[in-house]
Chains A and B, each alone.
Chain A
Amino acid sequence: MAPRALAITAALALAALTLGPVGVVLARAGGFGALGPGDWQALRFTLWQAFLSASVSVVLAVPVAKALARRRFVGRGLLVTLLGAPFILPVIVAVMGLIAVFGQAGLVNRLLGALGGPNLDIYGLHGVVLAHVFFNLPLAVRMLFSAWAAVPAEHFRLAASLGLSPRAQWRVIDAPLILRVLPGAFTVIFVICLTSFAVALTLGGGPRATTVELAIYQAMRFDFDLGRAAALAVMQLVLALAAGLVALRVAGQAGFGAGRDRILSRWDGQGALARGWDAAWIVAAALFLLVPLAAVVLRGLPGLFLITPDTLRAAGHSLMVALGSTALCMAWALPLSTRRGELLALPAIAISPLVLGAGLFLILRNFVNPFDMALPVTGLVNALMALPFALRILRPEAEAVTRDYGRLRASLRMTSLAWLRLVWLPRLRRPMGFAAGLTAALAMGDLGVIALFADPDRATLPLQVYRLMGSYQMEAAAGAALLLLFTSLGLFWLFDRGGRLGAET
């Protein structure tokens, strides 16, 4: 069975890449290092902030996604794309945008000040959660939104013709859907927040907000204590796996079955109250997510004139990395889009990029000059890191296709190839477009492993932003960051749109 062999190869490659580098670092260190007293405090804080951030993100995502799924208005498609932007923003850019809005001298405080209100302090645990919700609410919204969009139109039609009350419709359609999607969304966000570091530190206001990833950075880059770095990295992996196992247990299984792909019409929620409620959620989410984005754009506009050929070249490199990553990630994700595959991939988000980079560096230099591999390695690592997201998006849909059309396949005795070409891939086009867009944008904005492999002639755009800032070129950096925002968003839009083309959802 060719598909099975493919799945096994993909799984082995995944396992080798998640465990191999940590193992190599560990071998080099000669065993795990001892953890310091601060490390346990860091672990507690890491778990707590990740739990809070994931909870708030998914709870807020429910009304927002529901509102977006059942309303039609001008600019809805654009809004859905833009709402996804925070998730793909490079950290340093996003933090600056958030601070421009919520900081001491930010928009909110200036408004409050003008109204004679109190001064809002963003820095602290609430600041960390705010930032993580800003990054991850879009992801949760999109996951739920896609699930609602995938409910066959017949269900809503039936609900309307049966005259189901809103409460009954909630019980029959919405609640099972939320229960099916939310645990997975929660887990992915929880695991992303586990590895947060620069955001947590900056918005947490100081060492109270020390995360495990910061401890890894310190061990790796500052103390050169590989053993301690490896111990902390393994701790992160175990936490991610545990979270994944819990989520798989909790998550409901059954989807809504197949429909006839009618254009989706909704008859529910036509009352003034329901309309007002939905409008309020959409406006609130749009303000929360888009105002900081607008701040990034405003800061960056003057800097656009300072963009130099170096920066453009860096943008070209990032684009190459992003496209390569996307192709690789899709080829990797499709054979793995099963329950087991998803669990296997989850730790990939929780791998410390620092440890991963060091491990790959140690392995690669036996064969090639690591400097020549800067861009391919960045592409590979990004494909790996995006894999869990791609699978979270693809897996439920892929399983549903197999479940809903498997009988058809058996009765028609379709070959594997025909099945892939005629049923599987076409039906997965929408989630694939979304997953590919996400991968491309994430790879575009990544700074992860490049530090060890950096090559002067092959900088990526995020690295260029950092270099400019390090040379006092704050304005040029803001311009380059804006360029990064445009390209990331552009890539995301192209793929996502490509996947949704012709689909009225």
Chain B
Amino acid sequence: MKSLAFTVAAGCLSAGLALAETPILTVYAPDYFVSEWGPGPRIEELFEARCDCDLQFKPGDLLPRILLEGDRTEADVVIGLNTDVTKKARDSGLFAEHGVDLSPLTLPIDWTDEVFLPFNYGHTAFVYDSTRVDAPPASFDALLEAPDDLRLVIQDPRTSISGLALVLWVQSVYGDKAQDAWEKLAPKIVTVTKGWSESYGLFTDGEADMVLSYTTSPAYHIIAEEDETKKAAIFPEGHYFMVELAARLSTSDQPELAGEFMEFILSEDFQSMIATGNWSIPAALDSAKWPEGFQKLDLPEKVLFYSEDEAADLRGEAIEAWRRALSQ
């Protein structure tokens, strides 16, 4: 008990000291964000150069943690949310309007949200290795009709954001026929993993021919490994749009800094770093300014997207269609 009391006292003391020195901006971010390979360290460097503050990333669960903490959260800003959780986040009333001018956005869809600010995007896509797959399916229909020895690995929509995006993708392409589509896909699906990392690991190990990933995945291989054999199969039916968002907390004790950070997100400094930092397409940068590897990407012409209300309505049905078809 003594050591606990000591920890508390020391914690208060150091917090007090820090307050007197430089203001701290606390940003919750996903795990992959803050590793030395993610964009976190670069963002911290760039922002601290302009803010005279101490930006501290707290990695881990985003929304579950904030909802647990409620209005006592110490987060000033959250970065790395997805549209699938924005409804729940908005309903919590814990988030404030970002107040950023949205005109610089270069998203393929119209974005007018006043709370959640996009910083990068991509699309769901099946990524394949062109040395292993000679004739990749040219459409979603062709994927369904592909021979059953084409091996796919996907993520579980109940535990993974990309897995959820996939069932919404199938839902938006096939509507009422979603379950039939899943039944055709089922024999080709080698397995379903908890998250994206495991799936992608299985794919790079050669366990599957195609993996559910993003249209931007090949950019990593092109730029970091000079490997142009990984490609995303582009389907004319369209691809589901996946955007990553930032938001500020209404309970923040650093509202000005938080505001500055939100502005910083759409600045060219941030936007020109995010492509190779987070391996996604910048949300507010002209394609001419993208890194060369991104300009080589095959991108879909048609983009599919459900608003958060539509997605919330369809989600249960879409997951059930998946579950029923794959459980048979």
Bound complex: CA of A99 vs CA of B326, how far in Å? 21
5 contacts between A and B (CB under 8 A): A202-B192, A202-B194, A358-B64, A362-B68, A470-B38
Which residues of chain A have C-beta atoms less than 8 A from B74's C-beta?
369
Which residues of chain B have C-beta atoms less than 8 A from A57's C-beta?
none
1/0 per position for B184-223, CB-CB distance to A under 8 A? 0010011111101110111011111000000001001000
Answer whether residue B37 sits at the interface, using C-beta atoms and an 8 A cutoff.
yes
Which residues of chain A have C-beta atoms less than 8 A from B34's C-beta?
456, 467
Which residues of chain A have C-beta atoms less than 8 A from B151's C-beta?
104
Residues of B within 8 A of A (CB): 4, 7-8, 11, 30-32, 34-38, 40, 56-61, 63-65, 67-69, 72, 74, 88, 151, 156, 158-159, 186, 189-194, 196-198, 200-202, 204-208, 217, 220, 224, 279, 322-323, 326-327
Q: A201-B192, A205-B191, A367-B8 are in contact. Are A472 and B159 (CB under 8 A)?
A: no
Answer whether residue A390 sits at the interface, using C-beta atoms and an 8 A cutoff.
no
Which residues of chain A have C-beta atoms less than 8 A from B59's C-beta?
454-456, 459
Are A103 and B207 in touch, CB under 8 angstroms? Answer: yes
- The answer, among B57, B65, B197, B323, for a CB contact under 8 Å with A469, is B197
Answer whether residue A58 sits at the interface, using C-beta atoms and an 8 A cutoff.
no
Bound complex: CA of A204 vs CA of B36, how far in Å? 34
Which residues of chain B have C-beta atoms less than 8 A from A202's C-beta?
191-194, 198
Which residues of chain A have C-beta atoms less than 8 A from B323's C-beta?
38, 207
- The answer, among A104, A206, A454, for a CB contact under 8 Å with B58, is A454
Stretch at the interface among A214-222, A377-385, A403-411: A214-222
Which residues of chain B have C-beta atoms less than 8 A from A38's C-beta?
323
Answer whether residue A261 sits at the interface, using C-beta atoms and an 8 A cutoff.
no
Are B35 and A220 in touch, CB under 8 angstroms? Answer: no
1/0 per position for A83-108, CB-CB distance to B under 8 A? 00000000010011001100111100
B62 and chain A: residue at smallest CB distance: A221
Chain A residues within 8 Å of chain B by Cβ, number? 63
Which of A41, A123, A206 gathers the greatest number of chain B CB atoms within 10 Å?
Answer: A206
Are A372 and B7 in touch, CB under 8 angstroms? Answer: yes
B40 and chain A: residue at smallest CB distance: A456
B45 to chain A, nearest CB (A): 14
Q: A205-B191, A469-B201 are in contact. Are A371 and B58 (CB under 8 A)?
A: yes
A408 to chain B, nearest CB (A): 39
Which residues of chain A have C-beta atoms less than 8 A from B69's C-beta?
365
Bound complex: CA of A206 vs CA of B153, how far in Å? 10
Answer whether residue A308 sits at the interface, using C-beta atoms and an 8 A cutoff.
yes
Bound complex: CA of A92 vs CA of B7, how far in Å? 34
Known interface pairs A310-B36, A455-B58; 14 further A-B residue pairs with C-beta atoms within 8 A, sorted by A's residue number: A96-B201, A99-B202, A104-B190, A206-B189, A206-B191, A214-B158, A218-B158, A361-B65, A463-B31, A464-B35, A467-B32, A470-B31, A471-B32, A472-B279
Which residues of chain A have C-beta atoms less than 8 A from B279's C-beta?
471-472
1/0 per position for A447-485, CB-CB distance to B under 8 A? 000111111100100011011111111101100000000
A204 to chain B, nearest CB (A): 8
Residues of A within 8 A of B (CB): 28, 38, 41, 92, 95-96, 99-100, 103-106, 123, 197-198, 201-208, 214, 217-218, 220-222, 224, 299, 308, 310, 358, 361-362, 365, 367-369, 371-372, 450-456, 459, 463-464, 466-474, 476-477
Which residues of chain B have C-beta atoms less than 8 A from A95's C-beta?
198
Are A217 and B60 in touch, CB under 8 angstroms? Answer: no
Q: Closest 10 A-B residue pairs measured CB to CB? A: A470-B32, A454-B60, A471-B37, A469-B197, A467-B35, A218-B158, A206-B326, A206-B192, A105-B206, A207-B323
Are A456 and B58 in touch, CB under 8 angstroms? Answer: yes
Which residues of chain A have C-beta atoms less than 8 A from B63's C-beta?
224
A25 and chain B: residue at smallest CB distance: B68
Are B198 and A198 in touch, CB under 8 angstroms? Answer: yes
B266 to chain A, nearest CB (A): 23
Bound complex: CA of A455 vs CA of B29, how far in Å? 11
Are A214 and B159 in touch, CB under 8 angstroms? Answer: yes
Q: A224-B67, A452-B65 are in contact. Are A208 and B201 (CB under 8 A)?
A: no
Are B37 and A468 in touch, CB under 8 angstroms? Answer: yes
Q: A206-B192, A206-B327 are in contact. Are A224 and B200 (CB under 8 A)?
A: no
Q: A452-B65, A453-B60, A454-B31 are in contact. Are A208 and B326 (CB under 8 A)?
A: yes
- The answer, among A103, A362, A369, for a CB contact under 8 Å with B11, is A369
Which residues of chain B have C-beta atoms less than 8 A from A99's C-beta?
202, 205, 207
Bound complex: CA of A405 vs CA of B202, how far in Å? 55
B299 to chain A, nearest CB (A): 19
Bound complex: CA of A467 vs CA of B40, how far in Å? 12
Are B322 and A207 in touch, CB under 8 angstroms? Answer: yes
Are A197 and B68 in touch, CB under 8 angstroms? Answer: no
Are B326 and A224 in touch, CB under 8 angstroms? Answer: no
Are A474 and B202 in touch, CB under 8 angstroms? Answer: no
Which residues of chain B have C-beta atoms less than 8 A from A28's C-beta?
68
Which residues of chain A have C-beta atoms less than 8 A from B88's C-beta?
224
- The answer, among B38, B56, B326, for a CB contact under 8 Å with A471, is B38
Are B38 and A467 in touch, CB under 8 angstroms? Answer: yes
- The answer, among B36, B68, B192, for a CB contact under 8 Å with A207, is B192
Are B205 and A100 in touch, CB under 8 angstroms? Answer: yes
Which residues of chain B have C-beta atoms less than 8 A from A453's C-beta?
60
Bound complex: CA of A477 vs CA of B36, how far in Å? 13
A123 and chain B: residue at smallest CB distance: B191
Which residues of chain B have C-beta atoms less than 8 A from A464's C-beta?
35
Bound complex: CA of A365 vs CA of B65, how far in Å? 12
Bound complex: CA of A477 vs CA of B8, how far in Å? 36
Are B35 and A471 in touch, CB under 8 angstroms? Answer: yes
B203 and chain A: residue at smallest CB distance: A474
Which residues of chain B have C-beta atoms less than 8 A from A198's C-beta?
193-194, 198
Which residues of chain B have C-beta atoms less than 8 A from A371's C-beta?
58
Which residues of chain A have C-beta atoms less than 8 A from B11's C-beta?
368-369, 372
Which residues of chain A have C-beta atoms less than 8 A from B7's C-beta?
368, 372
Q: A222-B158, A452-B60 are in contact. Are A205 and B190 (CB under 8 A)?
A: yes
Which of B68, B190, B323 gathers the greatest number of chain A CB atoms within 10 Å?
Answer: B68
